[in-house]
Amino acid sequence: MSDPLITLAAARRRLQHTPADISSSSNPKWRHLRELLESARERRRSGQTVLEGWHLLDAWLATGRPIRQLVIPQRTLQQLAGVPASDGDDIDESVEHSSPVQVAANAHWLILDDRLFGELDLLPSPSPVLAVVDTPRPLLPARLGEGGDIIVLDRVQDPGNVGAILRTAAAAGVQTLLTTPGTAACWAPKVLRAGMGGHFVMDIVENVAPHALQALVTHLPLAGTVLQGGQSLYGTDLRSPLAWVFGNEGEGIAPALQERLGLRLTIPQAAGVESLNVAASAAVCLFEQRRQRLV
Amino acid sequence: MSDPLITLAAARRRLQHTPADISSSSNPKWRHLRELLESARERRRSGQTVLEGWHLLDAWLATGRPIRQLVIPQRTLQQLAGVPASDGDDIDESVEHSSPVQVAANAHWLILDDRLFGELDLLPSPSPVLAVVDTPRPLLPARLGEGGDIIVLDRVQDPGNVGAILRTAAAAGVQTLLTTPGTAACWAPKVLRAGMGGHFVMDIVENVAPHALQALVTHLPLAGTVLQGGQSLYGTDLRSPLAWVFGNEGEGIAPALQERLGLRLTIPQAAGVESLNVAASAAVCLFEQRRQRLV
């Protein structure tokens, strides 16, 4: 990936507007930002979310999608001022609308007083940049499952698990992920952090009611793991597209969905120990499928 | 697993001492407990740690190892009083020293005022029981690696990742785990929680200096993943015992250890996306090894 600091420095040189300086906590833009970070309700209401840190910003810029606001603390602005113009920086005219530099330049820049930036409820890590974006809300594909595997998260509650599965799914090449009500919200900052950009290469459709799911997933067999009594993951042909269902941490897959599993799989594991965590289970399943397709 | 509430109720009926009631925050036992929960230094100094919640207590009891203190809030004590004596409860004489009931009965019981219990820095979850135990510190086996695979965590920093790998390793049947300095402390409450009892079925030796590691791991080839240029995980015979090395989240395996890898493996993944998280990578590697041995 590129160095987002260089990208931002180039974007800054072609800004068409003057960045807004914010130094008061009564500023409505600051308040909105704080609410987006702290409140799931506000994220739903506004249809927006916040990306924290260079890595997510970089991955988002690579998609070419617009950014509403780039939020930068004073100290990062000073860093940008110190980045020398690069060779490619002059070839302005040729830069596409969706290039990372142009996407960053088209955003509204908010420059935050360092103290105000420090007051935000950010994840523990030095992440001196934020981006406010419209939460992608893809429509359900009309012919779900004709484009490859899909993943269904059934009431997976832990944000770290949801993020980990998104990251793993992206690495496995899965492009569609659905969640049932009760699953942690995918676009929360903590899930985004764990997803490491996996969100941006997938179509994520949240809160699909189980009955809607049953109507939708008609092209693909549902595959899920059960602790005992399933057929061995390793003895099953997984090469055709599947709809993988990963269930709640404590309760597993809901009974109504369990009944509809075309493949009830068991991961053979050591005796007398706790079962795999759902994110580890997903990694084992998705990469076993990948292995079978590669060999 | 058993129902630990029934176990504790039976243990309570055979207590040889009167539980200590603690209702003041100036009580030294209470202070020690709080320090154990909050301070890595205090855990190191005392050689003790704290297990939170029923699941970890249950898994620990299954090992037969002693418990120093069982810490129970008033409200849980009231629950215990409501558990009827079970059939097996009278066959007292035959109960072994290491049976769960006897281990629980041999612990010192501290009954905490509910308010005091609520002031403890516990993980977010209803977990109305704590156990103070001596942190297991197994000696390094003299003939390391003759008993099967081992895992080396090289500066894996995130407690959630360390815990997840412990849980996965236990499920994969690995029995020895070493860490290099810079790895998150394995016996911290957060790691214990994520490990779900995996800790208790493994020998964990922490803070093994890299040069000591090199001298120790002479019987087994070191195996680790690299992002590019390694041999495919799926095309490599992994059936003989290996010393798996999993590295730091950002930097991977330290160069000195990388040089010594006998197997440099690459997990084939989709193009253009972030690599797998270290815990997902460990799950894929360990279960691919398990698959090869089973088929």
Flag whether pLDDT at A85 surpasses 80: no
- Closest Cα of chain B to A189: distance in Å? 17
Cβ separation of A280 and B172 shorter than 8 Å?
Answer: no
**Cβ atoms B170, A274 nearer than 8 A:** yes
pLDDT of residue B5: 86
CA–CA gap between residue B121 and residue B38 (Å, rounded): 7
Share of chain A above pLDDT 90, in %: 73
Flag whether pLDDT at A295 surpasses 50: yes
Q: Which of A205, A172, A171, A170 is nearest to A187 (CA)?
A: A205
Cβ separation of B201 and A273 shorter than 8 Å?
Answer: yes
How confident is the model over A219-247, as pLDDT tens digits? 889 999 998 899 999 999 999 999 999 99
Strands, sheet with A222-225, edge to edge from the N-terminal-most edge strand: A203-205, A176-179, A150-154, A243-247, A222-225, A261-266, A231-232
Chain A residues within 8 A of B201 when measuring between CB atoms? 272-273
**Cβ atoms B49, B135 nearer than 8 A:** yes
pLDDT of residue B26: 94
Residue A1: pLDDT band with limits 50, 70, 90:
very low
Residues of A with CB under 8 A from a CB of B: 59, 160, 164, 167-168, 170-173, 194, 196-198, 201, 232, 234-235, 267-270, 272-277, 279-281, 283-284, 287-288, 290-291, 294-295
pLDDT of residue B1: 45
Q: Which of A154, A189, A148 is nearest to A52 (CA)?
A: A189
CA–CA gap between residue A223 and residue A257 (Å, rounded): 10
pLDDT of residue A3: 80
- Nearest CB to A270 within list B170, B270, B273: B170
Cβ separation of B173 and A198 shorter than 8 Å?
Answer: no
pLDDT of residue B88: 52
- Nearest CB to B273 within list A171, A276, A280: A171
Give the pLDDT mean for A56-82.
93
**Cβ atoms B45, B187 nearer than 8 A:** no
Give the pLDDT mean for A241-266.
94
What token pair was written down for B260? 């010594």
Q: What are phi and psi of A129, to 5 degrees?
A: -160, 145
Half-sphere exposure of A34 (CA within 13 A, CB side): 15
- Closest Cα of chain A to B211: distance in Å? 31
- Nearest CB to B283 within list A173, A201, A284: A284
Cβ separation of B59 and A274 shorter than 8 Å?
Answer: yes
pLDDT of residue A128: 86
Flag whether pLDDT at A13 surpasses 70: yes
Flag whether pLDDT at A38 surpasses 90: yes
Residues of B with CB under 8 A from a CB of A: 59, 160, 164, 167-168, 170-173, 194, 196-198, 201, 232, 234-235, 267-270, 272-277, 279-281, 283-284, 287-288, 290-291, 294-295
How confident is the model over A109-148, as pLDDT tens digits? 999 999 999 888 887 666 689 999 999 998 876 666 667 8
Flag whether pLDDT at A70 surpasses 90: yes
The residue ranges of chain B whose pLDDT is under 50 are 1, 91, 93
pLDDT of residue A33: 95
Q: Exposure of B44 by Cβ count < 10 A (0-12 exposed, 13-18 middle, 19+ buried)?
A: middle
Cβ separation of B274 and A198 shorter than 8 Å?
Answer: yes
Q: How many CB atoms lie within 10 A of CB B293?
A: 12
Q: Which of B206, B213, B212 is nearest to B43 (CA)?
A: B206
Beta strand A231-232 with B150-154 is unpaired
**Cβ atoms B169, B202 nearer than 8 A:** yes
Q: Where is pLDDT greater, at A294 or A147?
A: A294
Cβ separation of B269 and A172 shorter than 8 Å?
Answer: yes
What chain B holds in terms of domains, given with CATH numbers, is 4-134 (3.30.1330.30), 150-294 (3.40.1280.10)
pLDDT of residue A213: 84
Q: Exposure of B26 by Cβ count < 10 A (0-12 exposed, 13-18 middle, 19+ buried)?
A: exposed
ipTM: 0.91
Cβ separation of A283 and B288 shorter than 8 Å?
Answer: no
For an interface test with B, give the residue of A228, A233, A249, A287 to mutate (most B CBs within 10 A): A287
Q: How many CB atoms lie within 10 A of CB A254?
A: 16
Q: Which of A166, A181, A149, A80 is nearest to A290 (CA)?
A: A149
pLDDT of residue B46: 97
pLDDT of residue B126: 62
